């Protein structure tokens, strides 16, 4: 378990880490239904630490992949992160008490239609290296995993890889590049994640917020 940062301790309230983009857009209405509203418009403000209508609660805007790290190391008490990020994250200092059912999509294996997934020396391009290795190992398929950070669809088109593992929402980008989903890896939605030490030290405050968010999800 990592020690809480001095800044988090000095703040004394709760800090929620979340990322810009779709998760932020979907999380703000959910937080509002739970009674939490930022005092500045995150889409217009350049600030990365946002105060809210609750004096003891602030929002921290970070990269999606960094949310669990900020939470585990105590710079934030709580985070909102995609299940894809949590599947890839290798830390152990977190609870995942609530599926927020926002920013939903799928993690899939994709490639040219008809690409055989059981072929020897299958090459897979992805940014989800650990998740991809686990998935193909569970299928009994030997795969060479190549890490990429973006433009995954190019990999099969340019011969870098046979298939990719990536997030898919509508599938329009795959179809536009002559690719198709070949196998389903996981359903993805955003999760509430909580620092284990914060859950003990700020138990009542965090449990109240979880209960409010759970009601907001149901509504």
pLDDT confidence bin for 165, thresholds 50/70/90: very high
Confidence at residue 176, expressed as pLDDT on a 0 to 100 scale: 96
Confidence at residue 1, expressed as pLDDT on a 0 to 100 scale: 44
Confidence at residue 182, expressed as pLDDT on a 0 to 100 scale: 97
User: Domains in the chain and their CATH numbers?
Assistant: 6-103+189-218 (3.40.190.10), 105-187 (3.40.190.10)
d(CA 81, CA 86): 7
pLDDT digit string, tens, across residues 24-51:
999 999 999 999 999 998 888 888 999 9
3-state secondary structure of 194: strand
pLDDT digit string, tens, across residues 133-153:
999 999 999 999 999 998 999
Q: What is the pTM of this model?
A: 0.88
The structure tokens 């909102």 sit at: 80
In this prediction, residues 118-146 reach a mean pLDDT of 94
Name the DSSP class of 3: P
Q: What is the DSSP string of 30-62?
A: HHHHTT--BSS-TTT---SEEEBSSTTEEEEEE
Nearest CA to 96 out of 73, 80, 74 is that of 80
Alpha-carbon distances of 1 from 93, 100, 197, rounded to whole Å: 6, 25, 8
H or E stretch covering 213 = helix 203-218
pLDDT digit string, tens, across residues 169-181:
999 999 999 999 9
d(CA 166, CA 181): 10
């Amino acid at each position: 378990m990592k020690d809480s940062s001095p800044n988090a301790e000095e703040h004394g309230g709760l800090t929620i880490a979340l990322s810009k983009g779709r998760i932020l857009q979907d999380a703000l209405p959910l937080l509002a239904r739970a009674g939490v509203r930022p005092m500045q418009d995150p889409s217009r403000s350049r600030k990365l630490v946002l105060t809210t209508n609750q004096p003891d609660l602030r929002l921290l805007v970070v990269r999606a992949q960094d949310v669990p790290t900020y939470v585990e190391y105590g710079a934030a008490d709580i985070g909102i992160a995609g299940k894809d990020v949590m599947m890839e994250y290798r830390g152990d200092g977190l609870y995942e008490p609530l599926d927020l059912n926002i920013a939903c999509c799928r993690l899939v294996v994709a490639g040219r239609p008809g690409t055989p997934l059981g072929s020897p020396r299958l090459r897979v391009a992805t940014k989800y290296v650990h998740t991809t290795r686990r998935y193909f190992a569970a299928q009994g398929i030997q795969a060479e995993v190549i890490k990429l950070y973006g433009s995954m669809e190019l990999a099969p088109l340019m011969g870098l890889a046979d298939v990719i593992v990536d997030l898919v929402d509508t599938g329009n980008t795959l179809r536009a590049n002559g690719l198709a989903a070949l196998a389903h890896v996981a359903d993805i939605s955003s999760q509430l994640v909580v620092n284990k030490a914060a859950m003990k030290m700020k138990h009542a405050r965090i449990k109240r917020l979880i209960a409010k968010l759970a009601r907001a999800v149901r509504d």
